[in-house]
Amino acid sequence: MEALGRLTGGVAHDFNNLLTVVLGNATALRVSAEAHGDGHAVRRAEMIERAAERGGRLAGQLLAFSRKQMLRPETISVYDVISSTHELLAQAAGETMQVVLHTEQGLWNCYVDPGQLEAAILNLVLNARDAMPVGGNITISCSNARVRSHWTGASARARGHYVRIDVNDTGTGIAPELLEKVFEPFFTTKPVGKGSGLGLAQVHGFAGQSGGWVELDSMVGRGTTVSLFLPRAKGRDSDPPPQAEGAAPGGNNQTVLVVEPDADLRTTTCETLTRSGYRTLAAANASGALAHLVSEERIRVLLTEADLPGGVSGIALARSARQVRPNLRVLVTSGKQNDAPAEARQASLGGDKHFEFLMKPYRVSDLVRVVGAVLTRDAISVETEELLAEARANASLVAPSEAAASGYASSGADLLRPAGVRHNAIRLGVMPFRTIGSTRANAFSLGLAEEITTAFSRFRSITCVATASVAALANEPPGQTERWRQLDLDVLMQGSFRQKGNEIRIVLRLLNMRGSGEITWGRRFDGLMPDLPNLQDRIASETASQVASELLVWEGQRAAARPQVNPTAYDLMLRAIPAIYCLDEASFLEARLLLEQSLALDPSCAACHSWLAHWYLLSIGQWAETDRAQATQRADQLSQRAVILDPGDARGFTVAGHVRGYLHKDAEAAVCLHERAIALNPNLAMAWCYSGLAHSYLGEHAEAIRHIQHAQQLSPHDPHGFFFDMALAIPLVATGQYEAAARMGRRALGLHPGLSSTYRILLSALGHLGASQEAADVRKGLLALEPHFSVRKAVARSALLRPEDLNSYAEGLRLAGVPE
C-alpha cells in the first residue's frame, strides 16, 4: 500500500500539471470563440474543460489515497457537516434507499477538512448503495471513541480521543478473501464502467492523512460497516467563518513572478495572468526566481510550484523571498502536497494572511480569483513598501557610534574587532593615498579610497573597514600601534598620487598585515587630469577585480600552512580553493573533502555551497564524471542553495548560471542569472566570463567575445586566467577566427596544462588551420587526460546549441585527427 501510495502520488502530480495546461488553453479557446460568436467551437472547448475537470477529480482521488492531497483542516462538528449534506446523500443513494443519521449527545469536535469529509461520506454511501441492488437501509452514526490500546501494523492506531463515524448497510457483504484488497486503488468487484475502484482508497487516504484510520467489518449476506476514526480537536474553538475573497477587478499591471519548472504550464500561466491585466516574470527554478526577487522589479506576488528542481522547494523559496521582500504575497501551487496539513505549512512562513495554496489542476477563474484575493488582503502600496525598504537600508548604513546613540542594532561585523578574533571574511582597509606635487589632489585621494572600498565591498569574501577609520591612523606606522591592532586588518591598500602638469600617476600597493607588512601586490596607473573621473572608475573596478580573486588564493595558501588544529569551516574552505585550481586528481579530490567538511561544520555558509558547486562544474568538465546525472543534480542543489542562503552574492548567481548553461544546456536562463550577478558586482571577472560562455552557447558570439575580453581586462592576472583564455577560444572558433583561437588555447595551456577543455577547443582550432603536427602533440596531451575522447562524446557534452556551431567544432576535431 505504501509503494502504491508513492506511485499514485507521483502520477497524479504529473497528471495535474498536464491538466492545468489543458484547462488554461481550453478556457482561452472558449473565450476566443465566444468573442467571435463561434458556438460550435465554444461547445468543443467546454467539452475539453469538462473532461479535464473529470481528470482532475480522478487525480484528486489518487492524491487522497497517496495522502498527498491538499487538506484545509478546521475545527468542526462532524454531525453538522454530515447533516448539512443529508439531502445530497439521500439523492445519491436513490429512491429505494433510506439514509438515517444518528449521533450521541456531547459529540466532540474534530479537526479535519470538511470538504474531504463530505467526499469520504459520499463515497461510502455510494458503495453502500451499490451493495444493495434491491434497496435497503444506510445508517450513519457519530459517536465519541476513547482508544486505549496502541496497535501497530499496516496502519498505526495511537491511543487517544477520536470521533467515530460508522456507515452501515444491509447489503450483500464482502467475501473474506477480498477484505484485504478493498482499500487498494482501482480494485473493484463492480462491472466495467460501474466504478473506478477509488472510492474506498480515497476514504483510506483521507483518514490516514487526517491523523486517523478506517476499519471495515463485513459478513456475506448481512451487510458491511465502514468506521472512520478522526482525531478529536484538542483545545480548539470553532474556527471563525472564512471571509469572502473577491478577486481584484483586474491586475492593474501589477507584477507576478511565476516559478514553474514545466515550460508549457509556465507559458500558460503567464498568458492567463497577462490577459487578466497582470505583468508577469517567469523562472524555472529557485535561483532564477531569486535573480528577479533581488532586482529592482516591482514584484507583488510570487506564484511558485511547491516541487522545484535543484533541491530547493517552493516553500523554501517563499521563505527566502519574504526575507528579501517582507510584504511579498505568496501563492504556492502543486499537484501533490506533503503529509503536513496546510496550517503547518502556512506556519512555516509565519502564518500570515499573505500566503495561500492552490491545488492543480485549477481553472483560469480560480487562478485569477486567488491571485486577486491575495493582493487585496490588507495590501500596502508599492510606494509604501519601497519607503519601508529605504528606511531599513538607511538604518543599516548608520555608523557604529550613531547606531549606539539612536538605538539601531548592528547586523554586520563591527568595524573595530578585538585583535586575534578570527572572522569569516578577509578584512581589508584602504588608506587615502599620499599626494605628491599637488595639494588640490587631497580630495581626489580620499574619494578614490572610498571608490576602491566600495568596489571591494561587493565581494562577499571581503569585509571592508570604513575609510574614515583607516584615515584616522594615517600618521601612525601601519600595524604597530594599539589602534591599528584594533582594526584587525588582514591586508591594507595604500599608494600615492603624483601630478606633474596635466599628467598624473597613481601607484597602488597591497600590504600583508598578518606578516611583516610586505608588499604582496602592486600596480601603476597613468592618465591625464581631464580624464580623472573615468580613470577613478577604472582604477576602482580593475583593482578590486584583480585583488579580490587573488586574495582568496593567498588566504587559502596561508590557511594550508597553518597548523591544522581544530580548523574552522572558513579555514577548511580557504584551504580548498588553491587545491581546486591545481586540477591534479589528488589535490582536486582533497578540495572536495575539505569543502564537504566545511559544510558539515557550517551548513549555512553560502560561499562554501557555491565553491562546492564550482568544484562539481570543473569535475564534470574535466573528468566526465562517471555518474554525470548525479553530479549534475548535486551541483544544481548546491548552487541553488548558495543563492537561497545569500541572494546578494554575485558569485553565487554566476555559478548557478553556469550550472544552468553548461550542465542543463539552458543558456537563456543562464544569461539572466549572469546578468543579475553582474548587476550585483560589475567587478566580478568570473561573472563576465561565464556570461560570455552563455552568450556563445546561444550563438551570440560577438557579445560572448566582448564579455570574456572584459573579464580579461578586469583581472589580467586572475587565478582563473587560463579558464578565461579557454573560454574566449570557443566563440573565436565559432566565428572562424582560428588563429586567434589557437593563440588563446596555447596561452591557456601555458598557464595551466591540466584543463582538458583547453585541449579540446585548441584541437578544433588547429584542425581548421591544418596544423597537423601541433595537433598531434595536443591530441596526445588530451588523451592522457581523457583516454576515450572522441568526436561523438565531444558533441554530446558540448553546451553549444546551434547546429552550425556544433558542426564547426566537430569538424575541427576530425581534421585534428580525433577519432569519430
Residue-level pLDDT at 461: 73
For every residue of 307-361, which 3-state class applies, written as one string? CCCCCCCHHHHHHHHHHHCCCCEEEEEECCCCCCCHHHHHHCCCCCCCEEEEECC
pLDDT higher than threshold 80 for residue 318: yes
To the nearest whole percent, how much of the chain has pLDDT over 70? 77
Residue-level pLDDT at 65: 46
Instruction: Give pLDDT tens digits for 269-312.
Output: 888 888 888 888 888 888 778 778 877 778 889 999 888 877 67
Encode burial over 370-396: b for 16+ CB neighbours within 10 A, e otherwise: bbbbbbeeebeeeeebeeeeeeeeeee
For every residue of 671-728, which 3-state class applies, written as one string? HHHHHHHHHHCCCCHHHHHHHHHHHHHCCCHHHHHHHHHHHHHHCCCCCCHHHHHHHH
Residue-level pLDDT at 616: 92
Instruction: Give pLDDT tens digits for 559-617.
Output: 666 666 678 888 888 888 878 877 777 888 888 999 999 999 988 888 899 999 999 99
Residue identified by cell 469538462 is 50
Task: Give me the mean pLDDT over the 535-559 stretch.
Answer: 75
Instruction: Give pLDDT tens digits for 606-664.
Output: 889 999 999 999 888 876 556 788 888 899 899 988 888 888 788 899 999 999 999 99
Burial of 722 (C-beta count, 10 Å sphere; 0-12/13-18/19+):
buried
Element (H, E) at 166: strand 160-169
Angle, CA of 464, 466 and 470, to the nearest 5°: 105
| Distance of alpha carbon 511 from alpha carbon 484, whole angstroms | 13
More confident residue, 609 or 195: 609
pLDDT higher than threshold 70 for residue 150: no
Element (H, E) at 112: strand 110-112
Residue identified by cell 514584484 is 299
| Distance of alpha carbon 324 from alpha carbon 809, whole angstroms | 43
| Distance of alpha carbon 48 from alpha carbon 22, whole angstroms | 8
Instruction: Give pLDDT tens digits for 36-95.
Output: 888 888 888 888 887 777 676 666 655 554 444 555 678 888 888 888 777 778 877 887
Residue identified by cell 581589508 is 428
pLDDT higher than threshold 90 for residue 697: yes
Residue-level pLDDT at 585: 78
pTM for this predicted structure: 0.57
Residue-level pLDDT at 502: 82
